[in-house]
Amino acid sequence: MLRHSTTALLLLASVAAFGQAGKKKPISQPLVTHIYTADPSAHVFNGKIYVYPSHDYEAGIKEDDLGSHFAMRDYHILSMDSIGGKVTDNGTALDIKNVPWAGRQMWAPDAAYKNGTYYLYFPVKDKQDIFHIGVATSKSPAGPFKAEPTPITNSFSIDPAVFKDDDGSYYMYFGGIWGGQLQKWTGNKYDANGPLRKPTEQAILPRVAKLNADMKSFAEYPREIKIVDEHGKTFLESNNDKRFFEASWMHKYKGKYYFSYSTGDTHNICYAIGNSPYGPFTYKGIVLKPVDGWTNHHSIVEIKGKWYLFYHDVQLSGKTHLRNVKVTELKYNPDGTIQTINAYQ
């Protein structure tokens, strides 16, 4: 097991002091400081908190709008007994070299549990440089995980988030535009020249597919998810402070389905509420205002009767592609809306 070293704790203290001295004081501190982590998908398994993040590192690749500098190649799973408690890095859970079909860029993962098996879902480009979603299994939530030899059939793009409904059904939400390639898929068919939408066109929509009982395949072709305004209209690409960009997440609160996501180039984490896992979802507002760094990616989970938002920023490095995961409490208003969080004071 890898744990905080004395050096890491000293670094954390210096980072905290810097935040206090600067213009913006973070409301929370990085969960770990010895590696760079991002895109945290959090779950409670067997009464313990597990966080499934991306593992950032310095690849020396020039930054671009396609995210080429996000060249991650493995996953480390974090665990802790309670919020604010000691965080354990459980080592390498899955390495790209052990995924037979993978080419490059292991981006944001998620995990699920069913009948004694844990499933790790991950996007990675194949050897033709097209993103698909893979699945790996383990008997432990901390891994190590063994990958299936091929990606999930009919999967594409990035950012899988798997949600278990009250009836035991599992759904995968996914998609991301720009470097996530979602704009290249229409009717579940790939077009290498698929363009981004123009400002006056309907924004590209995220996808959802129900999983089969084996948790390794789709029970249906992926469907588009409608995110609509208060009048029931879908957003245009020009509504880029509200439209979907990437980072799907689904949770349920008081019988309602909450679909949350990142707006990407405007850096909000927004949410919309619906009555079905397929939507439509009506836009309600911002969960988290922009953080330091270009990206944001989150998860929302209930732990011991309280709700928490896991997210990332670049407090440790100041660099877009070297991020650190954090957590803060999330609160609801009496009407079920979420109180907007500002990551800095």
Q: SS3 sequence, 34-97?
A: CCEEEEEEEEEECCEEEEEEEEECCCCCCCCCCCCCCCCCEEEEEEECCCCCCCEEEEEEEEHH
Confidence of residue 6 (pLDDT cuts 50, 70, 90): very low
Identify the pLDDT of residue 18. Answer: 40
Residue 71 main-chain phi, psi, to 5 deg: -110, 40
For residue 218, what is the enclosing H or E element? Answer: none
Q: What are the structural domains, with CATH classification, of the chain?
A: 6-330 (2.115.10.20)
Asked whether the predicted pLDDT for residue 293 surpasses 60, the reply is yes
Strand, helix or coil for residue 8:
helix
Identify the pLDDT of residue 97. Answer: 98
Neighbours of 86 (CB within 10 A): 10
Average pLDDT of 186-215? 96
3-state helix, strand, coil in the chain (%, to 5): 10, 40, 50
Confidence of residue 17 (pLDDT cuts 50, 70, 90): very low
Identify the pLDDT of residue 31. Answer: 98
Q: What is d(CA 91, CA 77) in angstroms, rounded to the nearest whole number?
A: 7
Q: Is the peptide bond before 144 cis (omega within 30 degrees of 0)?
A: yes
Confidence of residue 23 (pLDDT cuts 50, 70, 90): low
- Catalytic residue flag (residue 39): yes
> Which residue is catalytic, options 56, 159, 246, 313?
246
Asked whether the predicted pLDDT for residue 137 surpasses 70, the reply is yes
- Catalytic residue flag (residue 241): no
Residue holding tokens 């979802």?
Answer: 281
Q: What is d(CA 195, CA 197) in angstroms, rounded to the nearest whole number?
A: 6
Identify the pLDDT of residue 187. Answer: 85
Percent of the chain with pLDDT over 90: 92
Identify the pLDDT of residue 24. Answer: 87
Exposure string for 8-36, b = 16+ CB within 10 A, e = fewer: eeebbeebeeebeeeeeebebbbbbbbbb
Confidence of residue 223 (pLDDT cuts 50, 70, 90): very high
Average predicted confidence (pLDDT) for the chain: 94
Identify the pLDDT of residue 41. Answer: 98
Average pLDDT of 206-221? 98
CB 54 within 8 A of CB 295: no
> Which residue is catalytic, options 39, 89, 110, 313?
39
Neighbours of 49 (CB within 10 A): 23
Q: Which two tokens stand for residue 330?
A: 């999330």
Asked whether the predicted pLDDT for residue 182 surpasses 80, the reply is yes
